[in-house]
């Protein structure tokens, strides 16, 4: 399988990205999508599962793209995919992403609003999730599949037992459905497990939160390993509390022992005021100034995990639009290059949001299937050189 990313240089990168966008996408509404854009059962070929460590696997992931604000909508019903204003995902969208240089995608999925009183996932929803996974899997891309925006697994001692039971029931269904997929499909046990709507939500948490997240991570691993097919060798991503990279969150993080197919999941929109903060005046980036937040993060993850043989994936990063696209492109190159130096692949959050002053992380315009900011995509690819 060819998993190499071709190197692109200078203006040629932007040109290639724009040409791929214009040539490779279906602009029709979902109901008008021609038959050839779908994935059939015959298209899904599972290679023999390679028995390699997660450290080896992570080296093959160059850079990833996240399908944000789509299957992770918290609406119910099969139309939830478009409830937050995004178009129904097509295989052509994923082709455009691949042609731009990404060799992996992350598929965030909200499941709780599609489960009945017995915690059984709606079959139509499960089928649709599998179809979207196959859009990338059949194009020889790595895929991260997770549970996202769930409101039932906040990490408290008094709710831990119920949360773990529901987590195990859900992942048993997901793991069973995808049991025959090879190592290109990675399961991410949770997204950002945290004490929502409290002062502990985003500041790294407390001992209780850390303990329960560790318990849920361990239960997730045990559940997947107990299923059939390729799940005994499935590569699994485990988040710290809230996927936080602060000292307390990573200091209390416990990785289950005796399993070489586990990956630490971290989210890091840094420097915070520039990349995620709501102050629209924070539009400047300086590698020797606020860029030290990025450098310090990579050094911390290297010391805490990588130097101990524990692989890490930054499952979410990006810089929201503040009318500073050229600066964001420079930031993209710096961020990815710093992550590459220590051996951490990054997944870029793209919610297809472009208007207003909110969290506009949009890069791919899914209506026209063109890159809205090709220079930023070019910046990410330059960071890999």
| 239: alpha, beta or left? (left if phi > 0; alpha if psi -120 to 50) | beta
Q: What are phi and psi of 81, to 5 degrees?
A: -55, -35
53 phi and psi angles, rounded to 5 deg: -75, 160
How many CA atoms within 13 Å lie on the side-chain side of 307? 7
What span, in angstroms and rounded, lies between the C-alpha atoms of 269 and 348? 10
Instruction: List for the chain the helix, strand, coil content (%; round to 5).
Output: 40, 10, 45
Residue 173: phi and psi, rounded to 5, are -70, -45
Dist CA 380 CA 78 (whole Å) = 34
Would you give the distance in Å from CA 60 to the centre of its chain? 16
Which residues are catalytic, by number?
Answer: 192, 316
Helices marked H in 54-141 — which ranges?
A: 54-60, 91-99, 123-137
Q: Are 360 and 354 in contact (CB under 8 A)?
A: yes
Q: What is the 3-state secondary structure (H, E, C) of 201-263?
A: CCCCCCHHHHHHHHHHHHHHHHHHHCCCHHHHHCCEEEECHHHCCCHHHHHCCCCCCCCCCEE
Name the DSSP class of 246.
Answer: S
């Amino acid at each position: 399988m060819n998993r190499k990313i071709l190197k692109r240089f200078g203006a040629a990168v932007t040109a290639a990205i724009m040409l791929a966008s214009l040539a490779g996408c279906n602009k029709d509404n979902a109901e008008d999508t021609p038959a050839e854009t779908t994935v059939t059962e015959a298209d899904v070929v599972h290679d023999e599962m390679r028995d390699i460590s997660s450290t080896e696997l992570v080296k093959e992931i160059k850079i990833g793209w996240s399908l944000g604000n789509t299957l992770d909508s918290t609406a119910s019903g099969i139309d939830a995919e478009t409830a937050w204003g995004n178009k129904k995902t097509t295989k052509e969208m994923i082709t455009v992403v691949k042609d731009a240089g990404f060799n992996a995608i992350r598929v965030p999925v909200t499941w709780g609003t599609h489960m009945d009183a017995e915690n059984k996932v709606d079959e139509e929803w499960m089928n649709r999730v599998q179809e979207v996974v196959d859009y990338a899997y059949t194009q020889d891309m790595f895929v991260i599949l997770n549970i996202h925006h769930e409101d039932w697994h906040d990490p408290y001692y008094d709710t831990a037992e119920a949360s773990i039971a529901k987590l195990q029931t859900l992942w048993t269904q997901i793991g069973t459905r995808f049991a025959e997929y090879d190592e290109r499909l990675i399961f991410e046990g949770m997204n950002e497990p945290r004490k929502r709507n409290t002062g502990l939500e985003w500041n790294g948490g407390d001992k209780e939160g850390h303990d329960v997240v560790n318990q849920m991570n361990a239960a997730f691993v045990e559940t997947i390993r107990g299923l059939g097919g390729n799940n005994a060798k499935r590569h699994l991503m485990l988040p710290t509390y809230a996927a936080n990279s602060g000292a307390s969150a990573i200091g209390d993080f416990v990785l289950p022992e005796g399993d070489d197919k586990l990956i630490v999941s971290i989210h890091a929109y840094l420097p915070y005021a520039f990349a995620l903060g709501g102050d629209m005046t924070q539009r400047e980036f300086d590698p020797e100034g606020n860029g030290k937040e990025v450098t310090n993060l990579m050094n911390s993850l290297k010391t805490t995990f990588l130097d101990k043989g524990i692989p890490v994936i930054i499952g979410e990063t990006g810089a929201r639009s503040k009318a500073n696209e050229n600066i964001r492109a420079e930031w993209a190159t710096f961020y990815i290059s710093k992550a590459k130096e220590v051996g951490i692949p990054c997944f870029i959050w793209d919610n297809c949001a472009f208007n207003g002053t909110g969290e506009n992380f949009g890069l791919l315009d899914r209506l026209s299937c063109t890159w809205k900011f090709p220079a930023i995509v070019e910046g990410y690819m330059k960071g890999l050189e």
